[in-house]
Amino acid sequence: MENKTDMAIFHHNILFIEGLIVTEQTFYPAFILFLLAYVFIMVSNIGLLVLITMGKTLHEPMYILLCNLPVNNVLGASVLIPRLLYDVVKPTSERYITFSECVIQAYIAHVFGTTSHTVLMIMAYDRYVAICNPLRYLTIMTNKMVIKLTVFAWGVAFVLVGILLGLTVRLSHCRSAIENPSCDNPSLFKLSCEDLLINQIYGLAFTAVLWASSIGSIALTYVRIAEVCLRSKNSALNSKAVTTCSTHLLAYIIVLCCGFIIIVLHRFPDYTFHRKMAGIMIKVVPPGLNPIIYGLQTKEIKQKILNIFGKNRLNAL
């Protein structure tokens, strides 16, 4: 009797996960592609983080806040890609994950998605202060303010996602298959046979509030910045505004488009495969492109990179 109980608990805690679906023809290309993507994401984002940390000229509020982006990128990519690579080399029938591991993966994945918005929101505020109140910038964007903004960006994600997953974990589950490449909140609450109304309402409200706050705050910020630039006849100020804001806006548009594609594809059941691939790409594309965008578009960071490579070339000679 005890053995049967133990087996029931064991099977209850072990879930089958679909993982990345590959054929014999696509096995090696898929594995190599995701491996190279992961290596690039880790090297580029950690490199950007080290560059800002080590460069004294980059110890400004704008770049300190920027550090949140590579940290979040590394977190998001690390929770997904290594597990995908692991599942690819395993036979489909042997892809298992424990319930607790699945919850942790889903939590970090949703924190990554939420923080992608909140970090870009606080970076937009920094640009607003720098361009609209340049004389008061240093008195507003103090170390204390930078810490407050960083705590806000991460704290909102940790708390709201914690509630989201908390509502899901409380449910009993009667199924054991995660029909997605990785764990997320919808996959987890679909394991249950209970009433999911509360989960669905909170999930919808959470997404709506996050997107409305994100789009609304950044749109208002850029409208205000545009007004100041149009009224100003300072070409240097306008040039700096265009450079810094275009970089930030491009990073935000990439995040927005990736998320929007997933939301739209949810409405079309026939495009399940495309939705699953979009769910993977949102943790690969922004983390891979952000370091390139900021490395190439930000004058100070680009100069720092050129200086490093210049020194290495001289040393080699």
- Domain residue extents for the chain: 1-315
Strand order in the sheet with 177-178: 96-98, 14-17, 177-178
pLDDT-derived band at 308 (thresholds 50, 70, 90) equals low
What pLDDT score does 3 carry?
43
Six-digit token pair at 302? 């680009």
- For CA atoms 5, 6, 10, 13, give the dihedral sign: positive
DSSP-assigned letters across all residues of 57-101: GG-SHHHHHHTHHHHHHHHHHHHHHHHHHHHHHS-GGG-EEEHHH
Q: Which CATH number fits domain 1-315: 1.10.760.10, 3.30.2130.10, 3.40.50.620, 1.20.1070.10?
A: 1.20.1070.10
pLDDT-wise least confident of 94-98, 143-147, 291-295: 291-295
When pLDDT is cut at 50, 70 and 90, the band that residue 6 belongs to is: very low
Residue 116 CB contacts under 8 Å (≥ 6 apart), including other chains: 72, 76, 255, 286
Residue 271 has pLDDT above 70, yes or no: yes
Q: How many residues does the structure list for the chain?
A: 317
**What's the DSSP call for residue 194?**
S
Tokens of 165: 């997953």
Name residues whose C-beta falls within 8 Å of residue 283's C-beta, 6 or more positions apart in sequence: 76, 77, 79, 80, 81, 109, 112
Question: Residue 252 carries which DSSP code?
Answer: H
pLDDT in tens, 62-106: 888 989 999 999 999 998 899 888 888 888 888 899 999 999 999
- Predicted confidence (pLDDT) at residue 310 exceeds the cutoff of 50: yes
> Model's pTM, two decimal places?
0.87
pLDDT category at 296 given cuts 50, 70, 90 is low
